Chain A
Amino acid sequence: MALAKRIIPCLDVDRGRVVKGVQFVDIRDAGDPVEVAQRYNEQGADEITFLDITASHEERDTTVHTVEKIASEVFIPLTVGGGIRTLEDIRRLLNAGADKVSINSAAVKEPEFVKAAADRFGAQCIVVAIDAKQVSGPESAPRWEIFTHGGRQPTGIDAVAWAARMADYGAGEILLTSMDRDGTKNGFDLGVTRAVSDAVPVPVIASGGVGNLQHLVDGIIDGRADAVLAASIFHFGEYSVPQAKHYMRERGVEVRL
């Protein structure tokens, strides 16, 4: 008996539609979030992550409403992120049926916010999302820093040290996205994934770059991630969740089938 590695389809939602872009440009429409979530639930996805990529204040009510609809029909864990800045934002999403919330820029801006959130709602529902980019050259020791605003804004903060600090502040999980790989379909950045997985005592979700099923296996085995997140390979029907799980099981990864 062992804990299964999780496969998490991710819904990037912009103004009420699931979208997926290459490096956050060239965005393609992938459907209605409630229908997409139901499809992954039926396929045996282990969780669903919903990232509101517009996340302007006008859109917040739409998100809460969509989360409510998904949560009343999908009986697997649901993580919601995008534009979360206050304890009240978290409370509303949890009340709408989210099981976890993912905090990104607000943690960078105000690290103590993660502490306050974990104290109030419990570490189990606080995910800290980290967008990392490699900043070291080919000749030097690898180093990754966190970037905000969809990968456009550097912060100078070391990604591995930041992940450890966030876990220490009460993050129950780390969602690690490589901004170098996101949307490229070239596979996860296994270096940063392994560095973060080894540095934190909490589970790590690898994200950014999945183009085929071997990438999922690599993220777990070489990247040492506890879960793998992918979007476009599932959204556009290239692969189904069961196909991914069978492939992973055949290569020695414990999965829920």
Chain B
Amino acid sequence: MTTPTGAGGSDSIAVIDYGMGNLHSVASALAHVAPRARVRITAERDEIAAADRIIFPGVGAIRDCMGEIRRLGFDTAVGDAVAAGKPILAICVGLQALMQHSEENGGVDCLGILPGRVRFFGRDLRAADGRHLKVPHMGWNQVEQTLDHPLWHGIAQHSRFYFVHSYYVEAGDASQVAGRCHYHCDFAAALARDNLFAVQFHPEKSHTAGLQLLQNFTTWQGQC
């Protein structure tokens, strides 16, 4: 039940480590779906530059994340990987860091690799029945696949993925939205452009559907 269909790739995969959060989960999920892949959690720019594929994760507050990304030179490392056409998967705050700007922490400029902004769900949200709509948006929600993309291969339309976030991405270019989710409002659950795929949910915590997406990533050639 937890093993996706197909076989994982054997490339080297660098999981970028800038000290924000649990990278063990994403690395062990990759090892599970692609036992032949060489997965490295790394903060070395050389190692990132040499890897065939890159995972750009992140949790926590955006100000701290952006501070560490810039201090460690990962803004350049990620930008170089994007330009080089390497398959890149950004996860959660990794996705948010790719955008132009986030309103978290009083407003933080992000990498600006993808057009769009990061917005707060809001305080004291109410559902239609008058109950609190809880923030963070935490748990399993459905994702509508709005683009036919190799990373969705083998994943049923409207599958549920695990989310945990208080800020969401408002895409600047609707044609880049690969998956849409609804919580209080519609938001971008996945963005895709060329060799870049970025998700708000946690594929490493999303059971079969998430593992399938990670396995698809390990064999993806970086084209939409």
List residues of chain A with CB under 8 Å of any chain B CB. 1-6, 41-42, 44, 46, 68, 71-73, 75-77, 94-99, 121-125, 172-173, 197-198, 200-204, 224, 226-227, 256
Contacts and interface: CB of A to CB of B under 8 A. Distances in A.
B134 A203 contact: yes
Contact of B24 (A71, A197, A202): A71
A76 to B, nearest CB: 5
> How many interface residues does chain B have, given as a range?
35 or more
Interface string B51-85: 00000000111000000000000000000000000
Contacts of A99: 22, 25, 205
A4 B166 contact: no
B141 interface: yes
B39 to A, nearest CB: 12
A119 to B, nearest CB: 8
Nearest to B32: A75
Given A75-B32, A76-B207, A124 B134 contact: no
A116 to B, nearest CB: 14
A227 B139 contact: yes
Contacts of B205: 75-77, 99
Given A71-B28, A95-B24, A1 B60 contact: no
B181 interface: yes
14 contacts: A1-B142, A72-B31, A75-B2, A75-B206, A76-B162, A97-B22, A122-B60, A123-B136, A124-B164, A172-B136, A198-B131, A201-B123, A226-B139, A227-B139
Q: Is the interface of A mostly helix, strand, loop or mixed?
A: loop
B198 to A, nearest CB: 18
B124 to A, nearest CB: 6
B144 interface: yes
B158 interface: yes
Given A1-B182, A203-B138, A256-B140, A71 B1 contact: no
Given A4-B140, A75-B206, A95-B22, A226 B28 contact: no
